[in-house]
Amino acid sequence: MVGAASTAERVHAAAIHVLRLVRARDEADGLSPARLSLLSVLVFAGPATVKALAEAEGISSPSATSLVNGLEAAGLARRSRNAHDGRAVDVAVTAKGRAAFERARRRRLAQLTTLLEALPAGELEALERATDVLLRLRRV
């Protein structure tokens, strides 16, 4: 019998294993998984404070500060004063950071595409339907 708890466990495990598999090459650009994840937030959500980045990533502010420091030192992100609060600092992705993120994303997608192309058509179709279900969960 299929249950929500056992399905949740299997989806969780599968997602982790697939992500580990496709992120293996991320460090080719010197991007740790944590740095790449933070860049992703900046690319898709736009500039944010360190506090907001920490909240988005589920990490402490000191950890986010350390990641931002590394991104900034590599020229992948930059800090600037917040236009609405002179005490606050925003972090934004640079053109170099966006390019590094896109390269890593393309590598991941290419590897995942290769894996998916090896599936029989019926399994690929089933995975497409399951993906639709997973994406709907984001909106629940």
For residue 72, the domain's CATH number is: 1.10.10.10
In the chain, the number of structural domains is 1
Give the separation between CA 58 and CA 52, rounded to whole angstroms: 10
This prediction has a pTM of 0.83
The reply to whether 9 falls in a domain is no
Q: Using one digit for the tens of pLDDT, what is the confidence trace for 1-40? A: 678 899 899 999 999 999 888 887 777 767 888 999 999 9
Q: Which structural domain, as residue segments, surrounds residue 109?
A: 21-137
Order of all β-strands in the sheet with 89-93: 48-49, 89-93, 77-81
In-domain check, residue 92: yes
Residue 95 belongs to some domain of the structure: yes
Is the residue at 3 inside a domain? Answer: no
Domain membership of residue 15 (yes or no) is no
CA dist 41 and 65 (Å) reads 14
pLDDT in tens, 79-135: 999 888 888 899 999 999 999 999 999 999 999 999 999 999 999 999 999 999 999
Residue 99 CB contacts under 8 Å (≥ 6 apart), including other chains:
none
